[in-house]
């Protein structure tokens, strides 16, 4: 990013970072990923380890305590994580979109107040745009923030918010002028920390991409200080969100590459396995030689046919 909190590419640093990430994945994530995904359990220990490694500050500038990594190094980290368990990439993604909104658009005071806490992972969260009646058409949001002295009073509901339960701070898109035309001119972005009037409600269940907490956020007379209006000016929220989503799109694209690589690896292993079975099959006595069974895969001894060979015959699914 070329904005405040500059990040840069350093090949040696990238190599070391990727090695550390690979070690972390092998030791801490791979052994538990399947179980946590199926049980839909939020991975507390993995999050703590990522915090220790500085991953919640990957793309936050070093002057704010982040790692200041380039977007391409960040993409490689996400790709490796997604090969093992994609949900972990989502936990980082929403948090860093919020951080990018502040890093790119926040006032100097907002950057120095929030970015160090985001970078060390002490304050984690995400991005709250979607509402029960509004997804793609973001300009139709109904959550409203009305000015009241040195605060704004927020009312509304957000849904499908990643990190919604375990996150404590969110970049929240609201209408500060619901009558503005064009509609995006009435939209503003606030950093809202959970407290009186702002809480999560239910956790939403999913078919996959589990572990990460998707939830509803409810604002009921929540008072957010006007100092938390990103950039300090009303009407810029839509633009701020779009700039933060840029890093989110890089994350999502890198996830796709990671998943595709994992699939390719899986298919490769299946093919190698099938090849072993085929070679063993060719060495074994045929069904006509030995009715009701065939040779043991490696020893050539007679054993019951377990149907393994079906996996390598033409037309059979691998």
Ligand X SMILES: Cc1cc2nc3c(=O)[nH]c(=O)nc-3n(C[C@H](O)[C@H](O)[C@H](O)COP(=O)(O)OP(=O)(O)OC[C@H]3O[C@@H](n4cnc5c(N)ncnc54)[C@H](O)[C@@H]3O)c2cc1C
The contact set with ligand X (CB under 6 A) reads 94, 126-130, 135-137, 160-162, 206, 209, 214
Closer to ligand X by Cβ: residue 243 or 290: 243
Closer to ligand X by Cβ: residue 254 or 280: 254
Two structure tokens written together for 73: 């190094």
Least distance to ligand X from the beta carbon of 221, Å?
22
Q: Which of 81, 78, 89, 67 is nearest to 8 (CA)?
A: 67
Least distance to ligand X from the beta carbon of 136, Å?
3
Closer to ligand X by Cβ: residue 53 or 129: 129
Least distance to ligand X from the beta carbon of 74, Å?
18
Half-sphere exposure of 52 (CA within 13 A, CB side): 10
145: left (phi over 0), alpha (psi -120 to 50) or beta: beta
Closer to ligand X by Cβ: residue 24 or 198: 198
C-alpha of 152 from chain center: 30
Two structure tokens written together for 205: 């269940």
- Residue nearest ligand X, CB atom distance: 135
Burial class (CB in 10 A: 0-12, 13-18, 19+), 137: exposed
Least distance to ligand X from the beta carbon of 204, Å?
8
Query: What is the rounded distance in angstroms from the CA atom of residue 70 to the CA atom of residue 7?
Result: 5
Contact 173, 138 (CB under 8 A): yes
- Residue 223's alpha-carbon distances to 45, 98, 226, in angstroms, are 33, 19, 9
Closer to ligand X by Cβ: residue 136 or 288: 136
Least distance to ligand X from the beta carbon of 266, Å?
23
Closer to ligand X by Cβ: residue 109 or 246: 246
Closer to ligand X by Cβ: residue 42 or 160: 160
Least distance to ligand X from the beta carbon of 173, Å?
8
Least distance to ligand X from the beta carbon of 290, Å?
54
């Amino acid at each position: 990013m070329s904005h405040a909190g500059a990040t840069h590419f350093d090949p040696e640093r990238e190599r070391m970072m990727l090695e550390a990430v690979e070690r972390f994945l092998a030791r801490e994530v791979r052994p538990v990923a399947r179980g946590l995904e199926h049980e839909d359990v939020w991975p507390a220990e993995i999050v703590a380890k990522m915090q220790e490694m500085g991953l919640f500050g990957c793309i936050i500038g070093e002057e704010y305590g982040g790692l200041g990594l380039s977007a391409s190094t960040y993409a490689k980290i996400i790709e490796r994580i997604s090969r093992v368990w994609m949900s972990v990439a989502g936990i980082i993604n929403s948090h860093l979109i919020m951080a990018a909104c502040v890093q790119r658009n926040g006032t100097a005071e907002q950057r120095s107040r929030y970015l160090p806490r985001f970078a060390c992972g002490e304050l984690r969260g995400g991005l709250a745009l979607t509402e029960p009646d509004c997804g793609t058409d973001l300009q139709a949001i109904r959550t409203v923030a009305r000015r009241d002295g040195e605060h704004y009073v927020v009312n509304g509901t957000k849904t499908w918010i990643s990190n919604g339960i375990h996150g404590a701070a969110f970049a929240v898109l609201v209408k500060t002028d619901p009558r503005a035309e064009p509609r995006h001119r009435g939209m503003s972005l606030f950093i809202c920390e959970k407290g009186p009037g702002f809480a999560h409600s239910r956790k939403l269940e999913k078919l996959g991409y589990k572990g990460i907490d998707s939830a509803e956020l409810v604002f009921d007379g929540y008072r957010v200080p006007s100092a938390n209006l990103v950039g300090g000016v009303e009407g810029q929220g839509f633009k701020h969100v779009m700039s933060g989503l840029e890093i989110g799109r890089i994350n999502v694209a890198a996830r796709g590459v990671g998943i595709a690589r994992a699939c390719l690896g899986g298919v490769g292993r299946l093919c190698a396995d099938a090849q072993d079975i085929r070679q063993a099959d060719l060495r074994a006595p045929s069904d006509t030689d030995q009715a009701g069974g065939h040779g043991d895969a490696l020893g050539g001894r007679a054993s019951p046919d377990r149907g393994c060979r079906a996996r390598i015959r033409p037309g059979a699914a691998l």
